Amino acid sequence: MTASPKSLYERAQAVLPPAAGRATDLGVVRGEGAYLVTEDGRRYLDFASGVAVTNVGHNHPKVVAAAKVQMESLIHGGHNVVYYPSYVELAETLNELTGGGNKVYFSNSGAEANEGAVKLAKKVTKRPAVIAFKRAFHGRTLAAASLTASGSLYRKDYEGLLPSVYHAEYPYPFRSGLSEDAETERCIRQLEELFQLQVDPETVAAMIVEPVQGEGGYIVPPASFIQKIREICDKYGIMLIFDEIQTAFGRTGKMFAYEHFGVKPDILTLAKGIASGFPLSAIVAPQAIMDQWPAGTHGGTYGGNPVACAASLATIELLKDGLLDQAAQMGEYFREQLRKVQQDLNIQGEVRGLGLMIGFEIVGDDGRPAPAIVGELRAKCMEDGLLLLTCGTDKNVIRFMPPTIVTKEHIDEAVAIIGKHLRTLVS
Ligand X SMILES: Cc1ncc(COP(=O)(O)O)c(C=O)c1O
| Chain residues that interact with ligand X, rule: CB under 6 A | 51, 109-111, 114, 137-139, 210, 214-215, 243, 245-246, 271
Helix (H, G, I), strand (E, B) or coil at 230: helix
Q: How far is the C-alpha of 232 from the C-alpha of 128, rounded, in Å? A: 18
Helix (H, G, I), strand (E, B) or coil at 57: coil
Strands 28-32 and 35-38: antiparallel
Q: How far is the CB of 303 from ligand X (least distance, A)?
A: 13
Contact 112, 142 (CB under 8 A): no
The residues that bridge with 281 in the sheet, in sequence order, are 107
Look at residues 143, 147, 145 and name the one whose alpha carbon lies nearest to residue 156: 145
Q: How far is the CB of 352 from ligand X (least distance, A)?
A: 17
Q: Which is nearer to ligand X, 243 or 266 (CB)?
A: 243
Q: How far is the CB of 169 from ligand X (least distance, A)?
A: 18
Q: How far is the CB of 271 from ligand X (least distance, A)?
A: 5
Helix (H, G, I), strand (E, B) or coil at 309: helix
Q: Which is nearer to ligand X, 188 or 241 (CB)?
A: 241
Q: How far is the C-alpha of 174 from the C-alpha of 373, rounded, in Å? A: 19
Q: How far is the CB of 245 from ligand X (least distance, A)?
A: 4
Residue whose Cβ sits closest to ligand X: 110
Q: Which is nearer to ligand X, 243 or 350 (CB)?
A: 243
Q: Which is nearer to ligand X, 308 or 363 (CB)?
A: 308
* Residue 164 DSSP code: S
Q: How far is the CB of 87 from ligand X (least distance, A)?
A: 19
**From the centroid of its chain, how far is CA 218?**
10
Q: How far is the C-alpha of 239 from the C-alpha of 289, rounded, in Å? A: 10
Q: How far is the CB of 244 from ligand X (least distance, A)?
A: 8
Look at residues 41, 56, 18 and name the one whose alpha carbon lies nearest to residue 401: 56
Residue 145: CB atoms within 10 A of its CB come to: 20
Q: How far is the C-alpha of 46 from the C-alpha of 285, rounded, in Å? A: 33
Q: Which is nearer to ligand X, 144 or 411 (CB)?
A: 144
Q: Which is nearer to ligand X, 207 or 245 (CB)?
A: 245
Q: Which is nearer to ligand X, 73 or 301 (CB)?
A: 301
Q: How far is the C-alpha of 43 from the C-alpha of 46, rounded, in Å? A: 9
Q: Which is nearer to ligand X, 214 or 392 (CB)?
A: 214
Q: Count CA within 13 A, CB hemisphere, residue 322.
A: 2
Q: How far is the CB of 384 from ligand X (least distance, A)?
A: 26
Contact 245, 175 (CB under 8 A): no
Q: How far is the CB of 52 from ligand X (least distance, A)?
A: 7
Q: Which is nearer to ligand X, 106 or 195 (CB)?
A: 106
